[in-house]
A and B are shown apart, each in its own frame.
Chain A
Amino acid sequence: MCFKNLPVEFDAQGVAHLKGGVVDPYAYRPREIKRDKLEELLARNGHIKDVSISPVTRVAGALSFHAVADLQERRFLEANSVATIFRGYEVILKGRDPRDAIYISSRACGVCGGVHSTAACEAIEMAFGISPPPLGTVLRNIALALDFLYDHPLHLFLLAGPDYSQVVVEATSPAMWEKAQVTEAPHADVHQFKTIGDIMKGLNPLSGKLYLDGLKMTRTPREAYSVLFGKYPHPQTVVPGGMSSTVTITDFNETYTRLQKMIDWTKRMILLWDDLTEFFYEYNPEYKKVGARAKNMIDLGMWDDPDSYDATYARCNEWGEARWATPGVVIDGNLVTTKLQQINLGLEEFVEHSYYENWNQNGNVRFKADPSGAPLSPNHPWNKETMPKPSKESWKDRYTWSTAPRWDRQVVEAGAYARIWTTAAAGLMPKNDFLESTGHSLKIHMPKTMLPSMDFEWKIPEVWNAFERNRARAYCMGYNLMVAYTMVLKAFDYLRKGEDRVSTQFEVPKGERIGVGFWGAGRGYLSHHLTLDNGAITNYQIVTPSTFNASPKDPFGNPGPYEESVLNTPILEDYSRPEDFTGVDMLRAIRSFDPCMPCTTHIYGGEREIVREVNTCACSAEG
């Protein structure tokens, strides 16, 4: 039984049905947000401070964040995550040829457009009843591993990394900086940074070696991506039933060479993030609480097994569990399911605190069951309709363009770390020479290049916080790299056997069809739910990782993951006067989720004085 809150149970054969005797099984009564006491405290108390991180956005999604901090008790009393832009891809896609979704939804992200293209293709393949030949699947897998090899260094060294740099640490915790300079880095022999202080210097923006090398290393995977798919980040070569790239053994050789180039650097970076994390924990164990929240996460898995994936909903549990990243939901640290159908049934979106109309007002539910006959909530994406309702920002009422997706009415977060967690816990990784899922860890064997071969093991952490998100992301670089490496070797095998087809013929069906793309972005969970009729899209719903992570409170009163993590974050930075408060601990918490597109934001005090510039974003405004 994977559901605790939804009115769904399973019989001995695993067939889902609604619990008997419940009149209105999915009904709920929204809980009111009360903040009278907080408003009173804000009005009278000098050390209770309103903190806003407000964006100046250029394009795409934008996140701003509001919090109330108690600077005397050094904790946060309220947190509100705000996606400030409505982009309306779902509205744009209605009525169009389903193939348009591949190219239009790609524009949802300037870093990983290909993940949207692929999710759209998988949704279309399910609706059309087609699937790619094995080499087509392998090509997609390589593309989406390369994509993340661009994404993760970008986050670790350019976006989150500066939070741990000398310039930030020295300014916000001078004693820690003193200690860092005389603390030897345990893995200095591999990564070549003698002390933790040297690592922090390396993370200095613009001048640090790690910052600059991180920037440089984004080029290599992007080159390989372009060799195979024509261009980055919006490939025109992802098509229903496979890929339209013409690939030869030379292209795979060129990809292989570039992957080789990344191996040693990745070995160093994993150990470097280990050293940095352990230093913070040792310096002050309270850092384990920065960004902490319940060990609740969700992932749809990705990187299909070329011999298992057939794009059918009926077999989604089988091909899902055969993926190179295992789908799963973790609740309180326990893996409660690895079945795509159960993950799908548990998904609901709520809009009580978002700028949308509730689409259920007339009580008409389009799909009461999924294609296998299992019960579906009226709040499920297949039943959802995007109905924008701009209104005044109110912390008690509506305050964001992000919806609140929940699984089994519980708050779950998405991320690369959720992907490695569910894969490690499930023990279902296909047998191969480089990666092994043990049930409690993921072992990564990285071959010899200039450095000797090395074995790494990402263990499911005892604590869950900002540092573990970043550490897991560093290990994910090794994980992604070895998935790409293995897939290139598989491609050679297919070519050797003469299996060089990368796409399948198809026709756009005329009747009513339904499909879903269960996939993953660099930042985790990605689903595209689609319905078609007469060859045109009748509904299209996208749920991104940042829709989960940046979500507002749900109708049950639970804060979204960013909000919860900030509420659990102690204020550890040094300050003697309120005006010296920078909010770095809160920002470390938020950034550890890898919010998607960058927006320049300014954190300001009550007098709207700019204290510090930050960069963050939300990919969550796909509403």
Chain B
Amino acid sequence: MVLVSGIGYSNLRDMSFGRVLLSTLEQMDWPEHVHVEDLNYGPIMIYQSLEASAVKYDRAVFVSAAKRGREPGTLHIYRWHGELPRDSEIQARIEEAITGVIDLDNLLIVCKHFGVLPEDVTIVEVEPQSEEWGSEFSPVVADRVDEAIQAVRQRALDQ
């Protein structure tokens, strides 16, 4: 079983990359073993939902924007190493998550800490240029949309 989602807030231009792409992904046809889910709520609630769910995923593919100091518009596709930070950092992520902060790193750390993430997690991540209020991507990020969708699809459908 494969879990696919896009993570981010609405209306924050490039930072909404995951959220906007999720809408496109939701409208695509997928085989039965691929579930496209909206995980844009607090990561504590996500971990609790995954823990309670009868479906156990073997793989997850998440698309998002993340500021990591790269050239804006860089699309980075990688398998998440799954290493957890020190306890105080996990605690800080839980506290952010429980008070409603939606964020890819929070989701990964919280869900990994509570043992509900599959071993195989792929991240499709764009470096944002613009993160102010608004609904349009900056041109360098808009150029990456098709490529990112293709990457998500490919990783989700890989046998």
Contacts and interface: CB of A to CB of B under 8 A. Distances in A.
A598 B95 CA distance: 7
B52 to A, nearest CB: 8
A565 to B, nearest CB: 22
Interface string B56-95: 0000000000000000000000000000000110111011
B156 interface: no
Interface string B24-60: 0000000000000000011011001000000000000
B142 interface: no
A597 B95 CA distance: 9
Interface in A378-412: none
B98 A215 contact: yes
Nearest to A154: B98
Given A110-B42, A205-B87, A215-B44, A158 B94 contact: yes
Q: List the 10 shortest-distance A-B pairs measured between CB atoms, nearest first.
A: A110-B100, A598-B95, A205-B91, A598-B99, A615-B95, A600-B92, A219-B48, A111-B99, A110-B99, A597-B99
Interface string B1-28: 0000000010000000000000000000
Contacts of B96: 58, 598, 600
B101 interface: yes
Interface string B100-115: 1101000000000100
Contact of A111 (B41, B88, B100): B100
Contact of B95 (A60, A159, A218, A222): A159
B101 to A, nearest CB: 6
Q: Which of A158, A233, A598 gathers most chain B CB within 10 Å?
A: A598
Contact of B101 (A59, A219, A222, A232): A59
Interface string A200-242: 0000011000000001101100100000000111000000000
B92 A615 contact: yes
A222 B88 CA distance: 26
A154 B48 contact: no
Given A58-B101, A158-B95, A219-B45, 6 more contacts: A158-B98, A206-B94, A215-B94, A218-B44, A613-B88, A613-B92
The residue in A154, A596, A600 that gathers the most chain B C-beta atoms within 10 A of its C-beta is A600
22 contacts: A58-B103, A59-B9, A110-B42, A110-B100, A110-B101, A111-B100, A158-B94, A158-B95, A162-B91, A206-B91, A215-B44, A215-B94, A215-B98, A218-B98, A219-B45, A232-B45, A598-B95, A598-B101, A600-B92, A600-B96, A615-B92, A617-B99
Q: From DSSP, what is the main secondary structure of chain B's interface residues?
A: helix
Interface residues of B, number: 20
Contacts of B90: 206
Interface of A is mostly: loop
Interface in B103-147: 103, 113
Nearest to A56: B92
A607 B48 CA distance: 41
A569 to B, nearest CB: 23
Contacts of A158: 94-95, 98
B39 to A, nearest CB: 13
Contacts of A216: 48
A134 B99 CA distance: 31
A154 B94 contact: no
A212 to B, nearest CB: 10
B53 to A, nearest CB: 13
A161 to B, nearest CB: 11
Contacts of B45: 219, 222, 232
For B91, B98, B103, B113, which residue has the most chain A Cβ atoms within 10 angstroms? B98
B87 A154 contact: no
Contacts of A596: 99
A617 B100 CA distance: 13
A575 B24 CA distance: 58
A112 to B, nearest CB: 9
A60 B42 CA distance: 14
A504 to B, nearest CB: 30
Interface in A136-179: 154, 158-159, 162
Contacts of B88: 613
A49 to B, nearest CB: 23
Nearest to B48: A219
A154 B48 CA distance: 15
Contacts of B48: 216, 219
A147 to B, nearest CB: 12
Contacts of B113: 206
A568 to B, nearest CB: 27
A615 B48 CA distance: 23
Nearest to A601: B92
Contacts of A215: 44, 94, 98
A58 B95 CA distance: 12
Interface string A593-623: 0001110100000000000010101000000
Nearest to B42: A110
Contacts of A162: 91
A598 B43 CA distance: 14
Contacts of A218: 44, 98
B100 A233 contact: yes
A600 B91 CA distance: 10
Nearest to A219: B48
Contacts of A617: 99
Contacts of B94: 158, 206, 215
Nearest to A162: B91
Contacts of B91: 162, 205-206
Contacts of B100: 109-111, 233, 597
B81 to A, nearest CB: 20
Contacts of B9: 59
Contacts of A109: 100
Nearest to A617: B99
Nearest to B100: A110
A233 B44 CA distance: 13
